[in-house]
A and B are shown apart, each in its own frame.
Chain A
């Protein structure tokens, strides 16, 4: 069964600090891994997307890494800002014709001043 597990479930950090969120998956065959940011009450917004051959992708202060061998990904946020407070969702898609996605439960990040 395809699964995506994220850790930690929640995280509190001080403004300006860095943090790393984890995502482990068992989706097969693998197509891509995406990270989304979701503000409370809003739709998720895409941060990065990585295919099998990519092991790092950056989007401003967000850097995602992918280790396809261990089936792990991380999202690193540098110099956190109050606006980074949100839920971060890891999504992994399979390589079937329909490209079915499996969603993680998300990590809730709170950045405090």
Chain B
């Protein structure tokens, strides 16, 4: 069974630009969650999607948004990038709930210059 995949793995952008990250969950998993991890920080929850609906949302500004497609694939978008958005963005999938056993992707390393 293929694991969670994320694309791209690395990304370099400049301030003010926008970026879209993609996540393909494990086949059959319907819950997809996104997290931000900065150096020395724990995982910060961004949002969770289930059946194409955002079910939970963390405390991030509206510049961070996401969506989920009918095949459970998910994208997250960050608009008007700031230097502080530089981080490892992790996607995790689980069967039904964010609180079930999660399987994480390798992450997308975003650098904002």
Contact A98/B48 with A43-B104, A43-B106, A46-B103 known, Cβ cut-off 8 Å: yes
Min CB–CB distance B64 → chain A (angstroms): 17
Q: Any chain B CB within 8 A of the CB of A101?
A: yes
Scan B86-99; emit 1 where CB is below 8 A from any A CB, else 0.
00101010001111
Is B15 positioned at the interface, with any CB of A under 8 Å from its CB? Answer: no
Q: Tally inter-chain residue pairs, CB-CB below 8 A.
A: 59
* CB pair A42 B41 closer than 8 Å: no
Q: A31-76: which have CB < 8 Å to B?
A: 31-32, 34, 36, 41-46, 49
- Asked whether any CB of chain B lies closer than 8 Å to the CB of A17, the reply is no
Determine which of A32, A42, A93 lies in contact with B106 in the assembled complex, contact meaning CB atoms within 8 Å: A42
Tell me if B101 is interfacial: C-beta within 8 Å of chain A: yes
In the complex, chain B residues 27-83 whose Cβ is within 8 Å of any chain A Cβ: 41-43, 45, 48, 55-56
- A99 & B100 in contact (Cβ 8 Å cutoff): yes
> Please, which residues of chain B bring their CB within 8 A of the CB of A100?
56, 98-99
- State whether B99 touches A105 (Cβ < 8 A): no
Establish whether residues B98 and A99, one from each chain, have CB atoms under 8 Å apart when the complex forms.
yes
Q: Which residues of A contact B41 (CB under 8 A)?
A: 105
A89 touches B43 (CB 8 A): yes
Query: What are the residues of chain B within 8 A of A41 when measuring CB–CB?
Result: 88, 107, 109
Closest to B97 in A: A99
Can you name 6 extra interface pairs (CB under 8 A) apart from A99-B98, A101-B99?
Answer: A89-B42, A93-B97, A93-B98, A93-B99, A99-B96, A104-B42
Chain A positions within 8 Å of B, measured between CB atoms, are: 31-32, 34, 36, 41-46, 49, 89, 93-95, 97-101, 103-106
